[in-house]
Amino acid sequence: MTVMCRLVLGKAHHGTPNVLSSYVFRSYDTYRLDIFGNENTHRTPSETKKSSVKTLSSRTPVNVNYVSFGEMMNQRREEASRSILVEIEGIKESGGLKHFLERIGPVNNYFLYRNSGKNFVLAEFKNIATKDKVVKNAYHSKDPLSIPVTSPYLYFYNSEKKFTNSSPDCTEHVECDENKILLELADLKCSDNDRLRTEMNHLKNKLEISDLSTRLRFLTCHQLDDALAGLFSGVRALPFGSSVTGFGRNSGDLDIYLQFNRNIDLKSQKNNNSLLYFHHKTRMRDTNVLLKLIGDLISVMLPGCAKVISILTARVPIIKYQQRYTNLECDLNISCPAGVDFTHMLWIMKHWDKRVAPLAYTLMTWFSHNKICPTKPGPHITNFSMMFLIVFFLQNQNILPSLHLFQSLPAITQSIDPDADLFFPDLRKVQTDMLPEQKINDLDVDSLLLKFFEFYSNFNFETTRIAIYRGVAMPKKSRSPLEIENPANPDLNVSKNVSNSQVKLNTLKNLSIDQCTLCRSPRKGS
């Protein structure tokens, strides 16, 4: 049995099933922009004290190959704007569809996959003009009761059926079979000493969200962009959460923040001599009315959208719906931009150090199998809270920086939340000699797994809150069972939803103690 299978299927000393680990061997002044590269005028950056830095002989970027969060978002949004999703009768029709599309214009990418017994093709064109031509020439239904909505969701019908060559099946790239992935680990070729580290990296590579799954998520958001663009200038449906943190899975839901951008084309407006302004409605104080209106639009007008539910009494009001063509469960809000900022932060943390991702995917599996972080909503630790626990641990291991340090680093972009005081650096321009002097932590990722269990088995959740802005433990401000500081607003608790969590926290502590005991026990053969 592989180490990772033991991690998931083993039992700790106190009898708790599904414990992940059975053993672990070895003990400036910059120009301020928003994430999309536009001028950000909602505030000015706060003054920060310069950090003491370590003088090094060489100036090495933290990550020379880094792609910024804004660049990634822009690239994916542009891909979605050039893409269509087409349902076909059988997989053999994918060849005929591809031939038909290529007669209209060049196709950059072409993905065939199956979803709920149906066959779909996601096609990305080289330019948006070709995509617009395809959509413009498509037919609407002849059903007089149907609503003629123009969208990138289409159906292919070929009565001649000349083409029988099918494209490669990419269905596995939108699925997530964790048990199958765990069984694959037995075939990995590596030494005993490298076994766990190799399996952790393999688990990360297999569980992380695929290119196709990411494209489908951005296409789902693009449907909202298209539908609402006529009403709201510059509206942007921005995915956030696990879909774009860099720690997502194909099986995850899609969180969407709908941003209404008032500062559209600021540079062009500065050079524009027009004296005309749009009339507008007075500011709507009750955002729930607007959210309900958008929910009704999604329910009645948008193809593929079903099971639309307005949850307007929640702490963050949302619209829940299912996009059947992309097979995604969606949560839409218009009042919580902080979610995008937290996603941006986690994106940077993932690319700060290559050990972060395999450790995070391993611990996500551990949290899930021990039911500390269930998939269904409720008064328990969420995925965001779990990621903050991991980030805080790595900050205390001198691997990840504090968010406070970000403000003194170059090429900073601002948060999209006007009430937040967060800034995000470009890791290609952050040199190692700009960082505070500290002891370098070069532990392997498997050793960090042991350290994680040690850290939280000794952590005092009753009196201490987790503060990732400064990266240090601080006294609690409330009586909440678990207090994780909101980095955008230190007075708020990210894990406020957690109630009756002492059982869960004790489970976390007890399981961590068990892991430490098992980690230090002599190694046994499989």
CATH architecture of 3-69+348-520: Orthogonal Bundle (1.10)
Residues 6+ apart with CB under 8 A from 368: 374, 375
In this chain, the answer to whether the domains covering 3-69+348-520 and 80-174 adopt an identical fold is no
DSSP, res 336: -
Kindly tell me if the per-residue pLDDT of 202 is higher than 50.
yes
Write the DSSP assignment of 417-460 as a string of letters.
-TT---EE--TTS-BGGGSPP-------HHHHHHHHHHHHHS--
pLDDT at 295: 96
User: Is 57 strand, coil or helix?
Assistant: coil
Q: How confident is the model at residue 260 (pLDDT cuts 50, 70, 90)?
A: confident
pLDDT at 217: 98
Kindly tell me if the per-residue pLDDT of 393 is higher than 90.
yes
Kindly tell me if the per-residue pLDDT of 51 is higher than 70.
no
pLDDT at 183: 80
Kindly tell me if the per-residue pLDDT of 3 is higher than 70.
no
Out of 288-292, 341-345, 426-430, 432-436, least confident range: 432-436
Average pLDDT of the chain is 82
Residues 6+ apart with CB under 8 A from 340: 35, 238, 240, 257, 259, 415, 416, 417
Kindly tell me if the per-residue pLDDT of 504 is higher than 70.
no
Kindly tell me if the per-residue pLDDT of 247 is higher than 80.
yes
pLDDT at 87: 96
Kindly tell me if the per-residue pLDDT of 50 is higher than 50.
no
Sign (positive/negative) of CA torsion 329, 335, 339, 341? Answer: positive
Q: Which residue has the higher pLDDT, 407 or 229?
A: 229
pLDDT at 76: 98
Provide the b/e sequence for 436-456 (b: ≥16 CB within 10 Å). Answer: eeeeebeeebbbbbbbbbbbb
Q: Are 459 and 509 in contact (CB under 8 A)?
A: yes
Q: How far is CA 441 from the centre of its chain?
A: 27
Give dist(CA 320, CA 294) in Å, integer: 11
Please state the pTM of the whole predicted model. 0.86
Region 354-378: what's the mean pLDDT?
86
pLDDT at 28: 36
Provide the b/e sequence for 469-505 (b: ≥16 CB within 10 Å). Answer: bebeeeebeeebbbbbbbbbeeeebbbbbbeebeebb
CATH architecture of 80-174: 2-Layer Sandwich (3.30)
pLDDT at 280: 77
Q: State both tokens at 247.
A: 């720690």
Kindly tell me if the per-residue pLDDT of 505 is higher than 80.
no
Q: Which residue has the higher pLDDT, 167 or 324?
A: 324
% of the chain surpassing 70 pLDDT: 79
Region 255-274: what's the mean pLDDT?
71
Kindly tell me if the per-residue pLDDT of 397 is higher than 80.
yes
Helices 383-395 and 356-369, axial angle in degrees (round to 10): 130
% of the chain surpassing 90 pLDDT: 48
Q: How confident is the model at residue 173 (pLDDT cuts 50, 70, 90)?
A: confident
pLDDT (tens digit per residue) in 108-125 = 999 999 998 899 999 999
Kindly tell me if the per-residue pLDDT of 47 is higher than 80.
no
pLDDT at 231: 86
pLDDT at 406: 87
Region 213-229: what's the mean pLDDT?
96
What sections of 275-402 are H helices per DSSP? 287-301, 338-352, 356-369, 383-395
Other beta carbons within 10 angstroms of residue 164's beta carbon come to 10
pLDDT (tens digit per residue) in 474-489 = 999 888 888 999 988 8
Region 155-182: what's the mean pLDDT?
79
Read off the amino acid at residue 11: K
Kindly tell me if the per-residue pLDDT of 34 is higher than 70.
no
Four-point Cα dihedral 458, 460, 461, 463, nearest 10: 180
Q: Which residue has the higher pLDDT, 131 or 496?
A: 131
User: Is 214 strand, coil or helix?
Assistant: helix
Strand order in the sheet with 236-240: 236-240, 254-259, 328-333, 318-323, 305-311
Sign (positive/negative) of CA torsion 278, 279, 285, 287? Answer: negative
Give dist(CA 196, CA 4) in Å, integer: 7
Residues belonging to the chain: 526
Q: How confident is the model at residue 388 (pLDDT cuts 50, 70, 90)?
A: very high
Q: Which helix (H) or strand (E) holds 322?
A: strand 318-323
Out of 190-204, 219-233, 370-384, 467-481, least confident range: 370-384
Region 326-353: what's the mean pLDDT?
95
Out of 23-27, 133-137, 248-252, 445-449, least confident range: 23-27
Out of 93-97, 380-384, 440-444, least confident range: 380-384
pLDDT at 507: 60
Closest CA to 345 of 210, 221, 238, 468: 468
Q: Are 457 and 393 in contact (CB under 8 A)?
A: no
Give dist(CA 83, CA 356) in Å, integer: 32
Q: Summarize the chain as % helix, strand, coil (round to 5).
A: 35, 15, 50
pLDDT at 14: 39
Q: Which residue has the higher pLDDT, 379 or 396?
A: 396
Q: Domain map of the chain by residue range?
A: 3-69+348-520, 80-174
